[in-house]
Amino acid sequence: MSLQYHPDVCDPSMKEESTMMFIQRNAAYKTSDTTMTRWEEQILELKRSWGSRMRTRNSQEQGCVGN
């Protein structure tokens, strides 16, 4: 989709409009990418904290001292 509005490959008469569309699409992609990265980081952190809690819980149930 980016190439469709890329200012270097568009019709010269549509260059200004294509440039604006390209900038908007690029900004939307960056926002989407940032949101996804944030979401993935949150999932990883939840997995880490859950694993840590489960290891602690299992150690306590087995009567172990320390990890």
- 17-67 tens-digit pLDDT: 888 888 888 888 877 777 778 888 888 888 888 876 666 666 666 666 554
CA geometry: angle at 49 spanning 48 and 50, to 5°?
90
Rounded Cα distance, 14 and 44, in Å: 44
Its pTM stands at: 0.42
- Position 15 scores a pLDDT of 85
What's the Cα-to-Cα distance from 6 to each of 28, 56, 58, 64, rounded to whole Å?
15, 54, 56, 62
According to the 3-state scheme, what is the secondary structure of 5-48?
Answer: HCCCCCCHHHHHHHHHHHHHHHHHHHHHHHHHHHHHHHHHHHHH
Position 64, amino acid = C
How does pLDDT run across 1-19, given as a tens digit for each residue? 566 767 777 788 888 888 8
Per-residue pLDDT at 50: 81
